[in-house]
Chain A
Amino acid sequence: MSGGNIRGFSYLENLPPITFRRLYQQPATSLAIFRRMLPNLAKVIVTTLLYNDKPIPLADLEALIRPESHRQREDAFSKLRRLHIIAEAADGISLDPVFKKNFRLALTGGGSHHSFGVPCNTPDKKNVTVAFLDEYAQKKFESILHFMVGTHNDTKPGDGVIELLCIGKLMERQGKGTQATITKNGFSFLLQEGNSQIWALLIQYLDYAEDLKMEKTDVLHFFLMLGSLELGQAYAIKTLTLTQRTMLTDMRDYGIVYQRKASSDRFYPTRLATTLTSESGGLRSASQTMDVATGADKADDEGKGFVIVETNYRVYAYTNSPLQIAVLNLFVRLTTRFPNLVSGRISRHSIQEAIKMGITADQIISYLTVHAHPQMRKNLVILPPTVVDQIRLWQIEGERMKATQGFLFKDFTTAQDFEDVARYAGELGVLKWKSVQKRCMFVTRHEQIAEWLKRRAAGGKR
């Protein structure tokens, strides 16, 4: 999967142009945006333009791309425009000068920007190993997940974390001073994969930081810089800005960085930090997060799966972890519990309850699949197809109407106009519905189409 499609992270695309200009002032940030937010074709376009001093005509660039891939081409160009990476003039396309300069710096080195962090080379009194960092990150992040489902763990997350969960509506407090309880959003958050979870938290943090009068770009720089740091290496704090130093305390609570003491002059990024902007970070699935959260034994890889689903909708789960039981309880009606086993049944009622909480059938199915007991993996089809189909059917049953947010375009002057726009929208993959007789159509996003209409009106080209 080429990056950028993760919920939470894609929010960044909607930042105003001025924010992007400021973001590109740091080489590390430019690199992170290139790596994580651009589709592959857009990367090719950027690298083509990078060492060209003169603008390149649009037609020349388009000649590089196979005509049948026009959909990807439009997608790539619109991404680049939206991120303000390319600038268009009469004589062709060039990269944003600030982006160009800093991206070159990121690739070839040089400058004294410190944007990749300054390694701390003096030996630390206590040796900090990668294994230790992993364990630390796991413990911290696990305590957040545990806290969300309300299992009482010996380590409670910091107050800042709880505050953030409440602000992000992942949890809510009924009254002042009462225990926070998990919300619908919180449940679907739990079933997301690890990297999305962290980004969801960070994006929330970003919004929250603005209320605290922290500089948004500073915060973003820091997030994206964390992604380019090296695991197991200590970094100096002295080059960080004041805002970023304040953030360190919070990042420590999420398990994203490690500091031995608050007064320490160095910090260690954990695996959660270093995978922030890499695509492989997405590989950590919900199941692994759960394993992290439940402290499942990593060495014992085969012991991962613990759920058996029978064709009669009975579910047996070999677990005694409160977190896993709590998650199963979201969509299984659990009836009996033994020291190492819980059993129950999937019913229409239990599935529809889960769907009401905002969990989708696909999330349930993928959870059951990744956690399937090794015994079930011996079959060609892991889950019984009847159960899978039935879960999907139960979901559809609850959906009397399917709602899609977007925009209705109408009042086209000519049939030709309508056809052109409809075709363009189809190429972009945003067209949901159209009617030739009524000359109107429904699309999920309007920015690109509006832009295209404007350009067409201006140039009369294409």
Chain B
Amino acid sequence: MPRAVKGVLVECDPSIKAIILKIDEDHHHAFIVEDLDEDHLVVKEAKLAELKERLEKILEKTQMMEKDDDSDPDQPG
């Protein structure tokens, strides 16, 4: 009989996946249940929010987001 494991399937780019793998490694493999292929992996449901947060933090450091200009160009001042 096959086994079923509860979890969350994460689809992402290979680049993002590499970061997730790194996060997992740094935290004693607390996140990943199974590494499926280059752009899919299964993580623990309870850990998803934390993983997202950590990922955002790392991306913030490494990526330069263009500043969003909210001002209206057609309006003076």
Contacts and interface: CB of A to CB of B under 8 A. Distances in A.
Interface of A: 312, 314, 333, 335, 345, 347-350, 400-413, 417-418, 421, 432-433, 435, 438, 440, 442, 446, 449-450, 453, 457
B1 A433 contact: no
Those 6 A-B pairs whose CB atoms lie nearest each other, nearest first: A401-B12, A349-B68, A402-B11, A404-B9, A408-B5, A442-B9
Interface string B1-34: 1111111111111001000100000000000011
B76 to A, nearest CB: 13
Contacts of B45: 405
A420 B45 CA distance: 27
Interface in B35-77: 36-37, 40, 42-43, 45, 48, 52, 55-56, 59, 68-70, 72, 74-75
A460 to B, nearest CB: 14
B12 A347 contact: no
B70 to A, nearest CB: 5
Contacts of B40: 433, 442
Given A348-B68, A400-B12, A401-B16, A409 B2 contact: yes
B42 to A, nearest CB: 5
A417 B3 CA distance: 12
A401 B43 CA distance: 12
B7 A402 contact: no
Contacts of A450: 4
Contact of B9 (A413, A433, A446, A453): A433
Contacts, number: 97
10 contacts: A401-B20, A405-B9, A408-B6, A410-B34, A411-B1, A411-B3, A413-B2, A433-B9, A442-B9, A442-B42
Given A408-B7, A410-B5, A435-B37, 6 more contacts: A400-B13, A403-B48, A407-B4, A408-B5, A409-B4, A442-B9
Contacts of A453: 1-2
A409 B4 CA distance: 4
Given A401-B10, A402-B10, A404-B9, A411 B2 contact: yes
Given A409-B2, A409-B4, A440 B52 contact: no
A407 to B, nearest CB: 5
Contacts of A440: 34, 36
Contacts of A408: 4-7, 9, 33-34, 42
B8 A404 contact: yes
Given A400-B12, A400-B16, A401-B10, A407 B5 contact: yes
A27 to B, nearest CB: 38
Contact of A446 (B4, B37, B52, B68): B4
Nearest to A454: B1
A433 B42 CA distance: 11
Given A345-B72, A400-B59, A433-B40, A405 B8 contact: yes
A396 to B, nearest CB: 12
Contacts of A404: 8-11
Nearest to A437: B37
A409 B70 contact: no
Contacts of B37: 435
A335 B43 CA distance: 43
Contacts of A405: 7-9, 45
A408 B40 CA distance: 12
Given A403-B48, A440-B36, A442-B42, A412 B2 contact: yes
A5 to B, nearest CB: 22
Contacts of A413: 1-2
B59 to A, nearest CB: 7
Contacts of A345: 70, 72
A435 B36 contact: yes
Contact of B7 (A314, A347, A407): A407
Contacts of A449: 4
A335 B72 CA distance: 9
A347 B69 CA distance: 8
Contacts of B1: 411, 413, 453, 457
A406 B70 contact: no
A118 to B, nearest CB: 47
Contacts of B52: 401, 403
A421 B3 CA distance: 12
Give the most central of B2, B37, B52: most A CB within 10 Å. Answer: B2
Nearest to A405: B8
Nearest to A350: B70
A409 B59 contact: no
A403 B2 contact: no
A349 B71 CA distance: 11
